[in-house]
Amino acid sequence: MDGAPAEPKLEALKADLAKESRRLKLNFDELKSGGFIKQTQKDLFTVRLRCPGGKVTSRQLAKAADLADRYGKGEVHITVRQSVEIPYVHYQHFDTIAQELRSVDWSVASCGPRVRVPTACGGCRYNPNGLMDTQALCQEVDKRFFGTPTGHHKFKVSFSGCPIDCFRTREMDLGFQGVLEPKLDEDLCNGCGLCVKACEEGALKLENGLPVRDLSKCNYCGDCVKVCPVDAMVAHRKGWLARAGGRHGKHPLFAYEVVKFISDDQVYALLERTLAWYKEKGQGRERIGATIARLGLEVYQAEVTRSLGLETVETAQERRKFWAGGNLYV
């Protein structure tokens, strides 16, 4: 096909679109940021719904089903990042859908170079492995940071309640995982050895009838505390381990552990300062992992985490216990 005549056609199309948009009172720029994703099929879009932590009410879920029946093809897509999407929606219905979503206190998600909807596991509310309340923090982070323009590329955040890390914090631009530091009260310990059995890291062994912890192996999962029958092994402190600079996609990058045992408030502070740093230091459409790789992790640590006074993870040796190896680390 000859490219030359396409231009007037395109202009006509744009004018058409503008007219249509005015008629429907739509702002297409807003829509582009708002999780309406263009499909292969002409005029059809996928509506991505905002489901922080994968949590929706049954009323909202019923509304999604209803909207899919009326404006889509009677199907929804459950995405890898915990969203519910309604495919095959004609753009003429955007306004109606937005209105209907508001009626159940719901809205669409984001796409583009913005902070995305954060994901999270069930956390400590009903999962026996959970150490931290991922859901509460995820909802609050969504409230405070969702949709923030980064100036460069997408920015993904997730929360895992424990070191099993079901929510893959290593693949996030900034990921948060629950950690627990155990402490032994030697006077209470009866030397039963159940904590040694419970520790999958081989970080505990009995010496003179008491468990001794090898810090180079302990991944702060808290299993020793959860099993101790006499409450001799207790939680000295709990908090979040943060990982920065991860991503998935065509060129996956595993994130670095950057700080540990930070509080909810420090999570907000770290997000805020990391986003400001990324905005300032990032180039073009690079993800923050590329910015960190280009400038060096040390620069990120000095300008972000250490300047916030957080407890940093400083050495490769300290990070070593958190991964198993593989071709990413040649």
Partner 1 sequence: MSSQTQLDLRGILCPMNWVHTKLRLEELAPGELLEVVLDDGEPMRNVPRSLKAEGHRILEVNPEGEGHYRLLIRRGAD
Q: Quick check: helix, strand or coil at residue 49? A: strand
CB atoms within 10 A of CB 3: 6
CB of 205 to partner 1, least distance (A): 15
Number of shown-chain residues binding partner 1 (CB under 8 A): 12
Q: Does the protein bind partner 1 through residue 228 (CB under 8 A)? A: yes
CA distances from 14 to 3, 5, 18, 30, 287 (A): 17, 15, 6, 16, 31
Residue closer to partner 1 by CB (options 198, 269) is 198
Member of 226, 238, 273, 319 binding partner 1 (CB under 8 A) = 226
Residue closer to partner 1 by CB (options 56, 204) is 204
Q: Restricting to residues 93-152, which ones interact with partner 1 according to CB under 8 A?
A: 128
Rg of the chain taking only CA atoms, in angstroms: 24
Residue closer to partner 1 by CB (options 32, 226) is 226
CA distances from 28 to 14, 15, 154, 285 (A): 11, 13, 19, 22
Residue 241 CB-density burial (10 A; 0-12 exposed, 13-18 middle, 19+ buried) = buried
Torsion of the alpha carbons at 30, 35, 39 and 44, rounded to the nearest 10: -70
Q: Which DSSP helix (H) or strand (E) runs through 9?
A: helix 6-23
Which of 110, 47, 118, 114 minimizes the C-alpha distance to 82?
118
Member of 64, 223, 305, 313 binding partner 1 (CB under 8 A) = 223
CB atoms within 10 A of CB 124: 19
CB of 227 to partner 1, least distance (A): 4
DSSP string, 201-229: T--EEEETTEEEE-TTT-----HHHHH-T
CB of 131 to partner 1, least distance (A): 14
CB of 193 to partner 1, least distance (A): 6
Q: Does the protein bind partner 1 through residue 209 (CB under 8 A)? A: no
Q: Does the protein bind partner 1 through residue 233 (CB under 8 A)? A: no
DSSP string, 253-298: BPPEEEEEEE-HHHHHHHHHHHHHHHHHH--TT--HHHHHHHH-HH
φ, ψ dihedrals at 87, nearest 5°: -85, 165
Residue closer to partner 1 by CB (options 195, 310) is 195
CA distance 231 to 224: 10
CB of 307 to partner 1, least distance (A): 40
CB of 189 to partner 1, least distance (A): 12
Residue closer to partner 1 by CB (options 226, 238) is 226
Contact pattern for partner 1 over residues 185 through 204, marking x by CB under 8 A: -------xxx--xx-x----
Q: Does the protein bind partner 1 through residue 229 (CB under 8 A)? A: yes
Residue closer to partner 1 by CB (options 197, 237) is 197
Region from 83-91, 224-232, 263-271, 297-305 binding partner 1, contact rule CB under 8 A: 224-232
Region from 153-161, 201-209, 221-229, 300-308 binding partner 1, contact rule CB under 8 A: 221-229
Residue closer to partner 1 by CB (options 229, 296) is 229
Contacts with partner 1 by CB under 8 A lie at 128, 192-194, 197-198, 200, 223, 226-229
